[in-house]
Amino acid sequence: MKKPFFVVMLILGLIVFIYLVFINESYQSKLKEIRFEDNLSLEVKNAYNERGIYILNDKYYLNSATFIIGKGTIKIKDDAIWRPEGSKHMPRISDISAPFKIYKNKNTDTIFIEKDESKISLLLSN
C-alpha cells in the first residue's frame, strides 16, 4: 500500500524539480552579462547576489567576485563572521549595495562605480 504512494510522490517531486530548474534557466538566460566589448552607463536601483553572479536591475549581471582595484573612497563594510587567520578582506562588487551608478567604456576591463559622490574602480573578471 505504501509503495504506490511513494512512487507517485517521487514522480511528483521530480516534475516539480524539473519545472523549477527550467524556470530558473529561462530567467537567467534573459540577463545580459557585462563584457569587455560593452559600453555602459547605468543607474542601478536594485542589485543582489545570487549564486555567484551580481544581478543589476534584473537586466545585467557581473561575476560576484569582481574585485575592487586601487584605493576607493566608497566605504565597504566587512561583514564576515569568521575569516582564516592571516587572510584579509578583499572587497568585491557584491559588497556594494544599491543604489549606485555604474560606467564602463567600450573595450576596457575597468568598471567605475559612483555612490554617494564617491568613486571606485573594479577589474572586470574573465
Q: Where are the domains of the chain?
A: 1-30, 33-123
Would you state the pLDDT for residue 43?
A: 93
Per-residue H/E/C for the chain: CHHHHHHHHHHHHHHHHHHHHHHHHHHHHCCEECCCCCCEEEEECCEEEECCEEEECCCEEEECCCEEECCCCCCCCCCCCCCCCCCCCCCEHHHCCCCEEEEECCCCCEEEEEECCEEEEEECCC
Q: Are 113 and 119 contacting, i.e. CB atoms less than 8 angstroms apart?
A: yes
What confidence score (pLDDT) does residue 13 get?
92
Q: How far apart are CA 90 and CA 92, in angstroms?
A: 6
Written as tens digits, the pLDDT of the chain (126 aa) is 578 888 888 889 999 888 887 776 655 567 888 888 988 899 999 988 887 888 899 888 888 878 888 766 677 777 778 888 888 877 788 888 889 999 999 998 888 888 888 888 888 876
pLDDT of residue 53: 86
Bridge partners (DSSP) listed for residue 84: none
